[in-house]
């Protein structure tokens, strides 16, 4: 059994010094088994992430959602999130379970930095704020 308890998302609001743009940054570690969406399914996982963002972000914030979603690009979790956020970049490990999504479509660079000592890809994304 791959039940490791309830999964969480950590968030922070940051302000860019030069542009004064605020970023609402969320890091999520998704439920197991991979591609299942956990006990409640992928749509519920996406709903809970979007509910967190709606409840804590403020009007005008740029939303950046990242993490090991334990869900590939064609899963219900990721497809549901793509209805509300732009797919920015996806890693290669475990069939592409590491994602960067955002409300900001203006990206100047993306790069897969490799495993960096982890079993997942380190992803780099540069946004234009």
DSSP letters, 59-103, are: TTPEEEEEEE-S--TTSHHHHHHHTTSEEEEE--GGGT-EEEEES
Tokens representing 1 are 């059994």
What are the CA-CA distances from residue 64 to residues 91, 104, 119, 122, 123 (Å)? Answer: 16, 8, 23, 16, 13
Per DSSP, 31 falls in state -
pLDDT digits (tens, 9 = 90+) for 32-68: 999 999 989 999 999 999 999 999 999 999 999 999 9
Kindly give the parts of the chain with pLDDT less than 50. none
DSSP-derived 3-state class of residue 45: helix
């Amino acid at each position: 059994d791959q039940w490791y308890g309830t999964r969480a998302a950590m968030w922070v609001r940051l302000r860019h010094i030069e542009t004064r743009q605020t970023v609402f940054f969320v890091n999520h570690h998704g439920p197991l088994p991979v591609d299942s969406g956990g006990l409640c399914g992928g749509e519920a996982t996406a709903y809970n992430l979007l509910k967190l963002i709606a409840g804590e972000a403020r009007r005008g914030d740029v939303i950046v959602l990242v993490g090991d979603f334990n869900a590939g690009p064609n899963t219900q979790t990721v497809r549901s999130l793509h209805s509300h956020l732009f797919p920015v970049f996806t890693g290669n490990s475990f069939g592409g379970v590491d994602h960067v999504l955002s409300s900001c479509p203006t990206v100047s660079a993306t790069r897969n930095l490799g495993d960096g000592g982890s079993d997942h890809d380190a992803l780099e994304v540069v946004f234009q704020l």
